[in-house]
Every structure is written in structure tokens, then in C-alpha cells.
Structure 1
């Protein structure tokens, strides 16, 4: 994420990203991923620019952004903790892990701690069904997560 754009002015940089990628077949998802990579989220002011450049309605762009759980409408914390909500993890006690995460962090899904350290997000399958329940801290995946290992993950994220 470029720090110099964190105070606004997203449209100009987004236009450059769009211009670089709009030649692709089905360019909206690659463009949205690039925008989120650049800014850490998809700024509201970028949606009409993207709609105009791809000859789409704002509603179509908004629909795609809100449909996919990975796109954010606000910057995430320094670390992102995702807890699997799929059936295998639910069957193996993920709800206890979720409740503990909410308690330890003092936030709910799609929220960030006040100190900006951790954003908590649900995820629907990390591919570790045999090692359920599963979680991911940033890009590192963990299986057989329990109350003890979750406490360690949260402590690591808070450092």
C-alpha cells in the first residue's frame, strides 16, 4: 500500500491502474484487486471512475465490490485475522473460536481494533477441512485452532 495516498486523492491513481488493466478480458476483478492492493481497500470515490472507464453502471461496480468478501470499504488493520465459517470448521467448534476472538479483540467481524492492529474477518473455507477449525493470520494458515492457539495468534498480531 502506498502511504502517500492514504489521505485521499484516490481517483487519479485508480485511473492509472484502470488504464493499465482495462485491456484484459473481464477486467473488473483484476482492477479491483489492484486498487485494493494499492490503497488497502476500494475507496468509494473510485467506483464511479471504474464504472465510467468500463462503461458500466455504478450499481454494477458496487454489486461486485459488495459481493466478494475480500474487498473492503475501509482500510484494514496492520494484521487481518480470518476465521473459517464453513461447515467442517463449524462442526469442529469454530463458533467457540469466533466467540473468543470477538472477546480478545473487542470487535466483531468486519471491524478493526481501535489501535488499528487487527481486522477480524470471516472466510468461507481455507482448504484445511481435515484440520478444522482453521484460521489465517495475514497470509499464514493455521489448522486445529483452539482457544489456546487463538490466544497466541492474537498476541502475535498485537505485537
Structure 2
């Protein structure tokens, strides 16, 4: 039986609730387990840490890493830091938006209408000397071009 989001949050809280500064590790672990932070677990986490729902929601929405909705099956992150921008990340992001059917807005990502793809801007992947850099489903790729991005996404999009 698959655990519910509430079950996952409860297990994570049980492991971390007594640690100082536990909110971020809890949110990371919940998102790692579920792929996102479901809205219904925010009050549960807040209560477990003796915080307000607004405090937990504020952290979830402040950090670009956290998602409140399930991601697509293929998650593409394009570095938007200065070194990558200088090497073509803006054009790469525009290409990804067009080909994946995702429109990023206000520094936040989006998921395609069919739910297959999620596109997120990120700020520095640490590959400045090999820019532009992207992450496709947790695989870090350097010196990315639109054609190489298309190949990386296509390989994952093919039915297994």
C-alpha cells in the first residue's frame, strides 16, 4: 500500500521534529519522497514544529526548489546564473519553453498541459566553466545546446 502524503509527512516529522532548524530538512525530505510539498501537509508540518501555517507556506513559496504541485515526468532545470546567460542560457530557456510547452514566469517554473514536462529556472548549478548547464531528471549536463537538450529529453520521453 502506497503511503499517503500525510503518512510521509508524519514519518519525516517523527525523525526531525526535535532538531533545531528542522523545517528545511523536513521540506526537502517530503519533496524527495513525494516529488512536491502537497498543500494538505503544510498545516501538519506547521503543527509538528509549532509554527504557523503561514510560516511554513512562506518557506515553501520563497525557495524556488520547492514545488506545491506534482512535477511532470521529466523535469528540466536551466541555469540562469550570469555565466550561463553569457553562454546562451536565455536562448536555451526560450527553446525549452517552446519545445516542452512550458512557460516560466516570475522566476518560477511550470508544467506542460499534458503533465509530461516541468521546466524550472535555477540559479547556479556550479558548472560555470562548462556553461550553459542544465539538469534533466537529476542528471547534470554541461555545454548544453538546444539540439543536445532535445536529445536528452527525447531519450527520457520515449516509452520504456
Would you call these one fold, judging by a TM-score over 0.5? yes
Q: Which residue of 1 aligns with 2:137?
A: 138
Q: Distance in 1 between matches of 2:19 and 2:148?
A: 42
The answer to whether the 8 Å contact 2:80/2:122 transfers is: yes
TM-score (norm: length of structure 1): 0.89
Residue range with higher mean Cα deviation, 103-112 or 27-36: 103-112
Structure 2 segments unaligned to the other structure (5+ residues): none
- Cα shift at 1:114: 3.5
Question: Against the structure 1 CA distance between its residues 65 and 96, is the aligned structure 2 distance closer, same or farther, given a 3 Å change threshold?
Answer: same
- Structure-1 separation of matches of 2:110 and 2:129: 29
Per-residue deviation at 1:136? 0.8
- After TM superposition, the score normalised by the length of structure 2 is 0.88
- Counterparts of 1:69-108 in structure 2, within 5 Å, are 69-108=64-103
C-alpha contact (below 8 Å) 1:117/1:157 kept by paired residues: no
Structure 1 segments of 4+ aligned residues over 6 angstroms from their partners: none
Distance 2:38 2:146 in 1: 35
Aligned to 1:157: 156
- After TM superposition, the structure 1 stretch with the greater mean CA deviation from structure 2, 133-142 or 80-89, is 133-142
Q: For the Cα contact (< 8 Å) 1:118–1:157, is it kept in 2? A: no
Q: Give the unaligned 5+ runs of structure 1.
A: none
Q: Alpha-carbon deviation of 1:41?
A: 0.8
For 1:80 and 1:127, locate their aligned partners in 2 and report how far apart those are by CA, in whole Å.
18
User: What CA RMSD, in Å, does the superposition of the two structures yield over aligned residues?
Assistant: 1.6
Report if the CA contact (8 A) 1:118-1:158 is conserved: no
* SS of 1:48 mapped into structure 2: helix
What is the match of residue 4 of structure 1? 2
Q: Provide closer, same or farther for how the CA distance between residues 12 and 147 of structure 1 changes in structure 2, counting only shifts above 3 A.
A: closer
* Shift in Å, 1:59: 1.2
Against the structure 1 CA distance between its residues 13 and 140, is the aligned structure 2 distance closer, same or farther, given a 3 Å change threshold?
closer
Match of 2:39, SS state, is: coil
Deviation at 1:76, TM superposition (A): 0.8
